[in-house]
Amino acid sequence: MRKIQMVDLVGQYQEIKEEVDASISNILSTAAFINGPEVSAFQKDLEAYLGIKHVIPCANGTDALQIAMMGLGLQPGDEVITADFTFAATVEVIGLLQLTPVLVDVEPDTFNIDPKAILKAITPKTKAIVPVHLFGQCANMDAIMEIAAEHDLYVIEDNAQAIGADFISSNGTSKKAGTIGHIGATSFFPSKNLGCYGDGGAIFTDDDELAHFIRGIVNHGMYQRYHHDVIGVNSRLDTIQAAVLKAKLPRLDTYCDKRRAAARKYSKAFEDQQHIHTPITVQGCEGICENCNCHVFHQYTLRITNGKRDALVAHLASKEIPCGVYYPIPLHKQKAYQDSRYKDEEFPVTNRLVQEVISLPMHTELDDEQINYITESVIEFINS
Ligand SMILES: *Cc1c(COP(=O)(O)O)cnc(C)c1O
């Protein structure tokens, strides 16, 4: 059996090697390292794939979130509601801009922000909601967009983990993750579903004026060379990363299919296990999607409900099976983000999830032998 990796990007590279090597070698010989033609070419390809008017590439996903908030003109003291159970980047940029983060609990089955908790957290100072489409599945965007419309709030989708996923609205329309709210932000970190070979990110919007404003923000607030109209940042996707992403984008749906196929095999193996809760897909899909793209499994995350999660992590390590705990500490308990406004009992789901979740190896190169070895090892231990 091949050694099991948590993330395996070598196979993907072998498939696109010729194209990527040729593009990179061309970039090296033309020295168009910044703003080379591949950047706008990738931007246009991604706009077409997502069905959105504007993609603004930037340096990474954290910048994308920050720039989205700057673009919307959020001001110090404005409250921004986001999930307690997520990667810290989301709440970090809220803090950096001196906005006030308001963390709320998530749903136990999807791990995504709970619309009921959002409603409870709204105050006259609330200006925006940042749903994170955690592990590759959209948050309940119907409910979130309705709340936003009712309370006149912006919605910034943190789509770092769900690029390529579809959101099927209750009225039957389908949209790509990241294109439903007022603005979407994503990351092209190597291990994301569409990853480059370094750092990268992008912002999406259908709003022409906002897109223009943001194009200046990413470039030092310049709309005309050496005229600085607003305080901006320096955040660029470099040409080499754009060339890699341009080669990978046409394969994104295939990558997502391979992840879903692995997820189906995992879930099938665990279906009769009482103490193992497999991830669910919502939106009218029966079990794990067969025919739709609602979940793109950035992570395949189980809940272990008999208290053996930590022991399982150690057991898997002893069997040379890598795994991850995303995330082990709720944001409201992190030193940097503690706030007297948070009451621990307002986060019952997150507090439980941090003790139950475990993410198994998930990437496009998993084979049946590896998946069987992983599922057998998990089941044998949980029932021991
Ligand atoms: C990866 C990630 C980010 C940050 O992306 P970077 O490109 O690493 O800055 C933000 N939010 C979530 C949910 C992520 O998973």
Question: Do 153 and 39 have their domain in common?
Answer: yes
Q: How far is the CA of 272 from the centre of ligand 1 (A)?
A: 34
Q: How far is the CA of 187 from the centre of ligand 1 (A)?
A: 6
Q: Which of 249, 266, 284 represents a domain boundary (last residue)?
A: 249
Q: The domain spanning residue 195 has which CATH number?
A: 3.40.640.10
β-pairing, 227-228 vs 222-224, is antiparallel
Is 2 within the bounds of a domain?
no
Task: Please list the alpha-helical segments (H only) found in the chain.
Answer: 10-30, 37-50, 61-71, 89-96, 115-121, 141-151, 208-217, 239-248, 252-270, 309-318, 348-356, 368-382
Q: Is 162 in the pocket of ligand 1 (CB under 6 A)?
A: no
Question: Do 270 and 211 have their domain in common?
Answer: no
pLDDT at 49: 98
% pLDDT > 70, the chain: 98
Looking at residue 109, the DSSP 8-state letter turns out to be: T
Question: Do 208 and 331 have their domain in common?
Answer: no
DSSP code per residue over 25-38: HHHHHHT--SS-HH
Question: Do 125 and 231 have their domain in common?
Answer: yes
Q: Which of 217, 249, 281 represents a domain boundary (last residue)?
A: 249
Question: Do 59 and 177 have their domain in common?
Answer: yes
Q: Is 88 in the pocket of ligand 1 (CB under 6 A)?
A: no
Is 1 within the bounds of a domain?
no
Q: Is 187 in the pocket of ligand 1 (CB under 6 A)?
A: yes
Q: Is 64 in the pocket of ligand 1 (CB under 6 A)?
A: no
Q: How many helices (H) and strands (E) does the chain have?
A: 12, 14
Question: Do 154 and 267 have their domain in common?
Answer: no
Please return the burial class of 6, using the count of CB atoms within 10 Å of its CB with bins 0-12, 13-18 and 19+. middle
Question: Do 62 and 160 have their domain in common?
Answer: yes
Instruction: Name the nearest CA neighbour of 252 among 68, 18, 16.
Output: 16
pLDDT interval class at 289 (50, 70, 90): low
pTM: 0.96
Residue with tokens 């095999």: 265
Phi, psi of 299 (to 5 degrees): -130, 150
Q: Please write the tens of the pLDDT for every residue from 154-182.
A: 999 999 999 999 998 888 889 999 999 99
In a mutational test of the pocket of ligand 1, which residue from 60, 90, 137, 187 has the highest number of ligand atoms less than 8 Å from its CB?
A: 187
Q: Please write the tens of the pLDDT for every residue from 122-149.
A: 999 999 999 999 999 999 999 999 999 9
pLDDT interval class at 291 (50, 70, 90): low
Question: Do 288 and 324 have their domain in common?
Answer: yes
The ligand 1 atom at the shortest distance from the C-alpha of residue 188 is: 7
Q: The domain spanning residue 349 has which CATH number?
A: 3.90.1150.10
Instruction: Name the nearest CA neighbour of 61 among 36, 34, 86, 26.
Output: 86
Question: Do 53 and 162 have their domain in common?
Answer: yes
pLDDT beyond 90 at 286: no
- Domain, as residue range, for 49: 9-249
**Count of structural domains within the chain:** 2
Q: Note whether 233 and 63 are within 8 A (CB).
A: yes
Q: Which of 226, 249, 272 represents a domain boundary (last residue)?
A: 249
Q: Please write the tens of the pLDDT for every residue from 224-239.
A: 999 999 999 999 999 9
Q: Is 60 in the pocket of ligand 1 (CB under 6 A)?
A: yes
Question: Do 65 and 88 have their domain in common?
Answer: yes
